[in-house]
Structure 1
């Protein structure tokens, strides 16, 4: 059986689990441990450690009782971090940013999760574990100079400056050096202050290895054009132009002209920032917008297709079914029954 969980459900069930004693959180100094059964959803273990201003680490383990689809709403709470996967797998879609992607053993991601809806697909009985580094850029990097900041990834640099913060997600492979550091974190031989100092040293090495990957990609990849904030802002501007012209979007050449980039730089930069081509991004956004309209507006399928820029109803139906598993009419009927 597959269950569905929303943010509202999660908040209510979490409070209920704490009240009936199946889930408990204990804080001791700089460390917080959460342990137990979260309703009839999953078993949880999490150990979170504050390391210094703007930097913390969490070791998380979760095992779901049934297959679960977890739908997360947009949040005003910005989160920047690195997540290293140690066991298990979850499939994630960050709507408007990435299509479905597997987060699994041997991979890690860097993120800025601002203002995104997210859907997660979990399988029952599979233990999922990870190490997550949470970064508060304006606190952690406050003593860094401009030259230093040029060596950190764009998504963190934007946050330090405090301007044009945009959602970001990039998945990479965990290197052998990272694997060594992750083992040392899990096998930490210390307690108290010594543990905090030891973990901080290991986390700093992990961050250094991540930044090193960023620098090496910038040097070696000719298709890495968006190295400065100005180019990144133009790429986000191009995205907004596309989304504001769903029915009649400009060509790639016209779009490049409007934002002041050449078409090659726009094409490569868009793929670098968003992980896909400009018009694949537009295609997926149209379908997501159509899903929202079918679920919330009193509109016919033909009207929705036209509103989001599809001239052919049959092509719209085929693309919608491929992405969501139902054709638009079936989805509309399902929404109408739920109202």
Structure 2
């Protein structure tokens, strides 16, 4: 039976936080820390870590830090993958290496090839919401042997001697997995099954992102891939009112022809087609997840009339929006 450490009470003490942090990531004893810290409320919210398979932990948090909290412990050889959905997260200090800094909305990987002393300082008033997984070497070796996926081989590189971290392009799939992990309603055996399945999906999606990034770095070069990624994130942030192609090229620092060619290579779509497809995907989420009517969802993503929205939706998904479960016209 997988082990777990979780706390969903409205308030957590320093000792609670240390126990949570030590189990999946740092594998450290909290005895000395508990003596050093009083039993006082330090966090409001929920903090959970659970071993869903041997060597695979799923981690989730949605918290407000009520006071400063410092943590210093020995982190074992492992790979952590996470996604910050909202708020901020403190950098991870790594003795002998540069600190690891997360970017909101961007998946990050952090690997240590040997046990290393790490520290972290959370400041009072900081809010943070995110989810991810931690992989120990035995899990990665066992899982990699069962799944034929080039990206898994790239994950192994993060367990080589030293410290290595990467920030990957934003991923709608990972964002949805992380949000579902934080908001799932399940209890008991069904919750365990859901957490295990979601953790494995998270690992595979990270592997896909690594594989794609490796391919595109070979094709475009890391600098040009960075510009394309920046352009895509700017479009994602302004789907309803996107910048012009020329403005986009100017903001990311490349000429328009280069941006258009590299964007098509990276994502298989022109700039215009990418915006149209992402608008329709967002509209589908609004209909299915938020219960918006067809006309309202179309308006939200920039369509001037329900008829134009329905026609575009049918071309993209093969059926009209009215065919979605629970969809209504108004």
Instruction: Report the TM-score when normalising by structure 1.
Output: 0.47
Higher strand fraction (1 or 2): 1
TM-score calculated relative to the size of structure 2: 0.49
